[in-house]
């Protein structure tokens, strides 16, 4: 059964300001902290989940208290909980016979694209990285049967392209065991 929730994400231009405002966001609304981390170069990212009214209130608090230190803020409704788990660093799915990689500059669009991937085909998320340690690019990796991965990647890439935020996408059918061996333990833990 697909469980959905709303999320809010706020990118700050200042690490210190990001930490202070994140604390205030948590105190102001009944939300769950999904991710709070530094980004390259010198930014801070906060992602929270919860009911619509709570995540909207947390963004209002962030925008008000963060002021000009808020780089971007957004609310995304009805996100699959698997995506939230992946963003928060919980272990992803085991690799199957094919993988797909989708890369974008815009976090909100990439989160929506991941939701499209899961909604459009029988695939699972292996990894989800939001601009941390990998420059400014964000990406996710899905796995499943080749036809499912191709369908999911096609649908999410079309969405990103339509929104002007697609960097790259690829499908690897039957990846070599050596690639898989290195992929599993070294998933860009930067």
- HEC profile of 73-98: EEEEEEEEHHHHHHHCCCCCCCCCCE
Q: What are the tokens at 132?
A: 């941390």
Q: Rounded CA gap, 99 and 119, in Å?
A: 17
Token pair of 126 as six digits: 């292996």
| Confidence (pTM) | 0.80
Same-domain pairing of 120 and 145: yes
CATH number at residue 15: 3.30.70.1710
> Distance between CA 138 and CA 122 in Å, rounded?
22
What does the pLDDT look like over 111-160, one tens digit per residue? 889 999 999 999 999 888 877 655 568 899 999 999 999 999 999 999 99
What is the predicted pLDDT for the residue at 186?
44
Q: What is the pLDDT of residue 94?
A: 80
pLDDT of residue 128: 87
Residue 178 has pLDDT above 70, yes or no: yes
Shared domain for 178 and 101, answered yes or no, is yes
- Give yes or no: residues 111 and 164 share one domain: yes
Last residue of a domain, one of 57, 82, 107: 82
d(CA 167, CA 102): 8
| 87 within some domain | no
In this structure, the answer to whether residues 104 and 177 fall within a common structural domain is yes
When divided into structural domains, the chain yields a total of 2
> pLDDT class for 7, splitting at 50, 70, 90?
very high
Q: Which residues of 136-164 are buried (b: 16+ CB within 10 A; e: fewer)?
A: eebbbbbbbebebbbbbbbbbbebbeeee
Rounded to an integer, the average pLDDT of 64-83 is 90
- To which H or E segment does residue 24 belong? helix 15-28
Least confident of 75-84, 113-122, 181-190: 181-190
**Do both 124 and 178 map to the same domain?**
yes
Alpha helices by DSSP H, 29-172 = 52-66, 81-87, 107-120, 146-162
Domain membership of residue 189 (yes or no) is no
Asked whether residue 167 carries a pLDDT value surpassing 90, the answer given is: yes
* Within a domain: 164: yes
Examine residue 159 and say whether the peptide bond preceding it is cis (omega within 30 degrees of 0): no
Q: Is 115 helix (H, G, I), strand (E, B) or coil?
A: helix
* 43 and 107 within one domain: no
Residue 31 lies in a domain: yes
Q: Do 71 and 52 share a domain, yes or no? A: yes
pLDDT at 182 over 70: no
DSSP 129-141: E-SSSBTB-EEEE
Among 27, 58, 82, identify where a domain stops: 82
| Residue 167, token pair as written in the block | 């960097």
Please say which residue of 49, 82, 115 terminates a domain. Answer: 82
Q: Which two tokens stand for residue 86?
A: 């992946």
Residue 120 domain-assigned? yes
Element (H or E) spanning 180, and its range? helix 177-183
Same domain, 150 and 69: no
Whether residues 70 and 128 share a domain: the answer is no
Domain span at 37: 4-82
Q: Helices 15-28 and 52-66 sit at what angle, rounded to 10 degrees?
A: 140
Instruction: Give residue 160's pLDDT.
Output: 94
> From the centroid of its chain, how far is CA 114?
8
Is the pLDDT assigned to residue 42 strictly greater than 90?
Answer: no
């Amino acid at each position: 059964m697909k469980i959905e929730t709303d999320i809010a994400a706020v990118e700050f231009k200042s690490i210190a300001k990001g930490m202070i405002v994140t604390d205030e966001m948590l105190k102001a609304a009944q939300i769950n902290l999904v991710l709070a981390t530094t980004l390259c170069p010198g930014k801070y990212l906060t992602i929270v989940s919860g009911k619509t009214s709570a995540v909207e209130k947390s963004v209002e608090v962030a925008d008000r208290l963060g002021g000009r230190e808020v780089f971007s803020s957004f609310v995304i409704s009805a996100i699959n909980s698997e995506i939230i788990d992946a963003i928060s660093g919980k272990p992803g799915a085991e690799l199957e016979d094919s993988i797909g990689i989708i890369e974008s500059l815009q976090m909100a669009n990439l989160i929506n694209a991941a939701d499209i991937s899961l909604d459009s085909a029988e695939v699972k998320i292996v990894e989800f990285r939001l601009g941390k340690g990998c420059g400014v690019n964000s990406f996710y990796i899905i796995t499943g049967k080749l036809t499912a991965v191709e369908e999911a990647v096609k649908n999410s890439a079309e969405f990103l392209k339509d929104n002007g935020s697609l960097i790259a996408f690829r499908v690897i059918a039957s990846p070599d065991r050596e690639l898989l061996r290195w992929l599993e333990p070294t998933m860009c833990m930067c």
